[in-house]
Structure 1
Amino acid sequence: MNEISATELMKTISSDEEIAIVDIREKGHFGLEHLLHAANIPFSELETGILLQVPRRTTRIVLIDGIDSVAPRAEERLRELGYVTIDRLTGGVDAWREAGGEVFIGEDVTPKAFGEIVEEELHTPALNPQDVEALIGKGEDVVILDGRTWPEHHGVSIPGSISVPNGELLLRLPDLVKDPQTTVVVTCAGRTRSIIGAQTLINAGVENPVYALRGGTQAWRMAGLSLHNGSTNRFAEVTPEGAARAEAFANDLRRKTDIPDIAQADVERVAAEGQRNLYRLDVRTREEFDDGHIAGSVHAPGGQLVQGVIRWCAVRKGLLVLIDSAPFVRAVSAAHWLRQMGYDARVLEGGVAGATAQVVKDDPPPAIPSLASVALVDADRARHLRAGKALTIDVGASMDYRHSHIAGAVWAIRPRLEALRERVQQADSIIVYSAVAARALLFAADLKRLFPDRDVCVLDGGLSAWVAAGGEVETTPHAPPDEACIDYLFWAHDRQKGNDAATLQYFNWEHGLPNQINRDGTSEFRILK
């Protein structure tokens, strides 16, 4: 396959060319060392991930792989989907480092570094957990807003806090905080979402005293303060009065930042021309998206989009069209930060209500030719097959397998499918399953390529369907062994489970990101002063 050297790639990154740097290693390997602008699309889910993150098939793609050497297989799969310009970084991450390139650890590095730089340059006000606890103890008027996702908040939260994901903050604040004297504290699990959430309100001209909770729930726990499990505190519907105030805040952001709108007709023109990667990103809540969205758009809640934009958009120079409903506060809020991070983010005029394209509740699955030959079976059929010489393969997350899997199933991962050769050859039929259907389908399709004489099928509904049908499951806390779990990032993984050393390691890492970003020299941050 075609190769590109590290020095050539460095020049390309600094150009205006639309390029997708795609690291196809699994999450555990990627998270330990990677390029700043590399999107992690693991080979386990390559075809479905690439269609979302690199929609233009003529985009130049640079693949990065590692010890599993899956780039040739990945190139073959991508060409089947119609991608035409595919290179591999010669020598991978090691060659990049040897050429003087900066190498990063962790996930969502760019947004986290951006948040740290925002705090440094704008001096975002912050309170320690003890300060907040003291205010509450004195009976002060304090509201704690949790900028994380609802599942995160519901799992563990600061007592009394309200779930308002960052993308919803500006829209929901007027109905939650009506007294301009009320102190507003924005929290998250660690640092950057608290910083960005608080600074969003400050930049929008909110009159209240606004602070980020320094260190979020992790620092709260380390301070010896109790956390709550199972919170049901969540924002309510927006009132007309609240929407009007929120719109005024958003207009203030528009005045301070160049946030352009884009007409529906212009979006369709860009799509028809096919010269740019076009990302149609619906920043509303999941419930709103499921109730009806523009065909071809994807759900990307505003707060999470800002926090992890590369999970949706692998091409930095692409066009990001943010879709919202009136008064478009969430789209403006997200665009405010994305544009400062260097992305061409625009707000769709008229939003969903003004759509000229079809509004749908469900989208057809992506067309992946290799999946056409994969058969689905229900739990009863799977049980029947298992009565014979069937091999059951769990290709879901390794940590999920440890927790629970079909009794007797083996765990496997797509880059290392060959390790199963002997077992597959001894079986009459193979049953593949995963909680993420795409992982199972792609794995099964690869099995069919390698073993065309074997009966390969996918368990429809995965483990959930098996359990619902009364199937037996088992737990293996230490299998697969850590070294096999290449899909899991063990670095600082237990920082939210009481490991203070891991928490401090994580905080120190975040604090050090601005210096790393400066050394890398390829970011395009433009912080609004």
Structure 2
Amino acid sequence: MTTTTDIATFPLLSFQQIHAALLERSELALLDVREEAPFAEAHPLFAANLPVGRIELEAYARIPRRDTTIVVYDDGEGLALPAARRLHRLGYSAVHLLDGGLQGWRDAGGEIFRDVNAPSKAFGELVESQRHTPSLSAPEVKALLDAKADVVVLDARRFDEYNTMSIPGGISVPGAELVLRVRALAPRPETRVIVNCAGRTRSIIGSQSLINAGIPNPVSALRNGTIGWTLAGQQLEHGKTQRFSDRPTDPPGSQNHAQAVASSREVANRARVGRTDLATLARWQEEVGRTTYRLDVRTPEEYAAGHLPGFSSAPGGQLVQETDHIAPVRGARIVLADDDGVRANMSASWLAQMGWDVYVLDGLQQTDFSASGNPPPQLPPTSPYESVTPQQLAQWLQDNASGNDNTVLLDFTSSANYVKQHIPGARFALRSQLAQALQQTPAATRYVLTCGSSLLAGYAAGDAQQLTDKPVFVLAGGTAAWIAAGLPLESGETALASPRIDRYQRPYEGTDNPVAAMQAYLDWEYGLVAQLATDGSHGFFVI
């Protein structure tokens, strides 16, 4: 129920007001608080997905300034108001509701986009349409490989995606690494460089990065990526581990490295990327009313070995692909750092063309990278709850068989992790649908909540305590502690108390996607440029 207090605390913003703010590049976080699968079916271009059940885990990192203008919406599921209240409790002081929710956006004539990372994918299609990025079809690439032509295939995705499925002979070179590594991987200027991803965006951006940087080699994107390869009836490889880091690398000071530094800086300058230093950045951090994201675009391994204090890990290729997730505050300032002079400039060149106020941190010394490891996230406190050990839980679950006791175990991990392995008898549950999940469970003596570490379960415990008069416990250490204790596991969709809508099944991931879904995804991508023109709020340009 919406109260008078809610209306006063969470005023409405209309489609027209939000559209005007986007055009003015004012700071704004437009949050779709549904689960990822319904979000992927329909959302505004610059909406970021932050499911209501994960707000405590993600809000502080993704929306660092507490007075950011935030607009939350759902599509009639009743999630927007609870999300607004939760954000308000976390200290966010400028939370609004989208007038009419998603349907209100539609009714006002707002353009609706599908899939995830829609801004980056639409931008990639715009780049290809304006720069006519060279590409080769899957049969053309296969013919070159079969003929043992002078070609090298560079896979611009994350390593785990490459490891799942890859083009035969391909090497994992995530997007931000391409300009830095290509001269060592293809030292002969006659060697054709072919860049692939799973679909289109990262191969287009990766290929155009190499072209923009002026490498002498002929460059082509694999048209439609591994989807196109599969649709052509060609076989992918699985489990491959060839990485750029396994090959010789041009050291700093070498001619190849110097060329990469000079060319990437020139590309960034053409894209009107800003320059800053540590002293200026420190002043920016003190500003009121301005969000500054500080991102390290090197590999996760390099970040863990040593990074600038206060910077987050955001490998450049994925940053360009997933900007809406990493930086959901549209209109914010972004500062990028590396230790080589290449990766930050190339990543920034793309963000600038996507309408971001982006800067490269210059003048860094190796001693500036003084922090190490992966810093723990800043999280709000949980409500008080009682814990139970894995051994006590095992005894309670064993007692269930007697019929005199009934411990109901709810698992809040991702559905993919639940299917992979979970505690026998556990029921998969979404925190956003906890009330419905409790209605589906049999009468309980007590409830025990878990997830991988019990971090999310700890937040869910407060919700559960308000919904039941039965005792609620949290498994200490989560399912990881259960596994460490050597207790049994099971797998599969054994008991779903909530639907598996927490993860959108991407047509370009995995090895079991229907042909129709893959083709429909490509057809959707081809139409994105027209959608951008209809939407009119993007502010993209292409150098």
Tell me what 1:271 maps to: 285
Alignment of 1:398-437 (within 5 A): 398-421=415-438, 426-435=443-452, 437=454
Tell me the secondary structure at the aligned position of residue 392 of structure 1: strand
Q: CA deviation at 1:12?
A: 3.0
Check conservation: 2:390, 2:475, Cα contact below 8 A: no
One-letter amino acid of the structure 1 residue matched with residue 473 of structure 2: V
Tell me what 1:524 maps to: 539
Tell me the secondary structure at the aligned position of residue 505 of structure 1: helix
Tell me what 1:131 maps to: 140
1:114 is the counterpart of 2:123: yes
Tell me what 2:86 maps to: 77
Tell me what 2:403 maps to: none
Counterparts in 2 of 1:117 and 1:297: CA distance versus 1, 3 Å: same
1:313 corresponds to which of 307, 314, 327: 327
Tell me the secondary structure at the aligned position of residue 211 of structure 1: strand
One-letter amino acid of the structure 2 residue matched with residue 392 of structure 1: L
1:331 is the counterpart of 2:355: no
Q: CA deviation at 1:30?
A: 0.6
One-letter amino acid of the structure 2 residue matched with residue 368 of structure 1: P
1:250 is the counterpart of 2:264: yes
CA distance in 2, matches of 1:12, 1:248: 36
Tell me what 2:3 maps to: none
CA distance in 2, matches of 1:313, 1:15: 18
Tell me what 2:336 maps to: 322
CA distance in 1, matches of 2:418, 2:376: 29
CA distance in 2, matches of 1:466, 1:307: 36
CA distance in 1, matches of 2:317, 2:21: 30
1:392 corresponds to which of 406, 409, 421: 409
Which shifted more, 191-200 or 271-280? Answer: 271-280
CA distance in 2, matches of 1:248, 1:39: 35
CA distance in 1, matches of 2:454, 2:539: 37
Check conservation: 1:391, 1:423, Cα contact below 8 A: no
1:505 is the counterpart of 2:514: no
One-letter amino acid of the structure 1 residue matched with residue 483 of structure 2: V
Tell me what 1:366 maps to: 378
Tell me the secondary structure at the aligned position of residue 182 of structure 2: helix
Tell me what 1:20 maps to: 29
One-letter amino acid of the structure 2 residue matched with residue 263 of structure 1: D
Tell me the secondary structure at the aligned position of residue 244 of structure 2: coil
Please report the RMSD computed on the Cα atoms of aligned residues, expressed in angstroms: 2.4
One-letter amino acid of the structure 2 residue matched with residue 484 of structure 1: P
Tell me what 1:283 maps to: 297
1:90 is the counterpart of 2:99: yes
1:515 is the counterpart of 2:530: yes
2:394 corresponds to which of 383, 400, 405: 383
Counterparts in 2 of 1:155 and 1:490: CA distance versus 1, 3 Å: closer
| Unmatched tracts of structure 1, length 5 or more | none
Alignment of 1:164-179 (within 5 A): 164-179=173-188
Q: CA deviation at 1:423?
A: 7.4
One-letter amino acid of the structure 1 residue matched with residue 317 of structure 2: G
Q: CA deviation at 1:359?
A: 1.9
CA distance in 1, matches of 2:523, 2:316: 27
Check conservation: 2:447, 2:470, Cα contact below 8 A: no
One-letter amino acid of the structure 1 residue matched with residue 415 of structure 2: S
Q: CA deviation at 1:457?
A: 1.1
Alignment of 1:191-206 (within 5 A): 191-206=200-215
Check conservation: 1:495, 1:502, Cα contact below 8 A: no
Counterparts in 2 of 1:508 and 1:412: CA distance versus 1, 3 Å: same
Q: CA deviation at 1:29?
A: 1.1
CA distance in 1, matches of 2:172, 2:506: 28
Counterparts in 2 of 1:426 and 1:137: CA distance versus 1, 3 Å: closer
Q: Deviation digits for residues 187-226 of structure 1, max 9, x if unmatched?
A: 0111111110000000001110000000111211222222
Which shifted more, 115-124 or 444-453? Answer: 444-453
Check conservation: 2:508, 2:518, Cα contact below 8 A: no
Counterparts in 2 of 1:490 and 1:220: CA distance versus 1, 3 Å: closer
Counterparts in 2 of 1:374 and 1:250: CA distance versus 1, 3 Å: farther
Which shifted more, 158-167 or 371-380? Answer: 371-380
**Given the two structures, how large is their TM-score scaled by the length of structure 2?**
0.90
Tell me what 1:29 maps to: 38
One-letter amino acid of the structure 2 residue matched with residue 361 of structure 1: G
Which shifted more, 301-310 or 14-23? Answer: 14-23
Q: CA deviation at 1:466?
A: 2.5
Tell me what 1:143 maps to: 152
One-letter amino acid of the structure 1 residue matched with residue 391 of structure 2: D
Check conservation: 1:157, 1:231, Cα contact below 8 A: yes
Check conservation: 1:127, 1:214, Cα contact below 8 A: yes
Counterparts in 2 of 1:139 and 1:363: CA distance versus 1, 3 Å: closer
Q: 4+ runs of 1 displaced by more than 6 Å?
A: none
1:474 corresponds to which of 490, 504, 513: 490
Q: CA deviation at 1:254?
A: 3.4
1:486 is the counterpart of 2:535: no
| Unmatched tracts of structure 2, length 5 or more | 1-5, 400-405
Q: CA deviation at 1:449?
A: 4.4
Tell me what 2:193 maps to: 184
Check conservation: 1:164, 1:235, Cα contact below 8 A: yes
**Given the two structures, how large is their TM-score scaled by the length of structure 1?**
0.92
2:463 corresponds to which of 446, 454, 469: 446
Counterparts in 2 of 1:407 and 1:478: CA distance versus 1, 3 Å: closer
CA distance in 1, matches of 2:215, 2:465: 59
Q: CA deviation at 1:496?
A: 4.7
One-letter amino acid of the structure 1 residue matched with residue 489 of structure 2: V
CA distance in 2, matches of 1:190, 1:271: 38
CA distance in 2, matches of 1:299, 1:48: 17
CA distance in 2, matches of 1:227, 1:32: 28
Counterparts in 2 of 1:34 and 1:310: CA distance versus 1, 3 Å: same
Which shifted more, 28-37 or 386-395? Answer: 386-395
CA distance in 1, matches of 2:23, 2:272: 23
Which shifted more, 100-109 or 346-355? Answer: 346-355
Q: CA deviation at 1:459?
A: 4.2
Q: Deviation digits for residues 386-436 of structure 1, max 9, x if unmatched?
A: 345422111122243334322111121111111244578944443222237
Check conservation: 2:444, 2:470, Cα contact below 8 A: no
One-letter amino acid of the structure 1 residue matched with residue 40 of structure 2: G
Check conservation: 1:284, 1:300, Cα contact below 8 A: yes
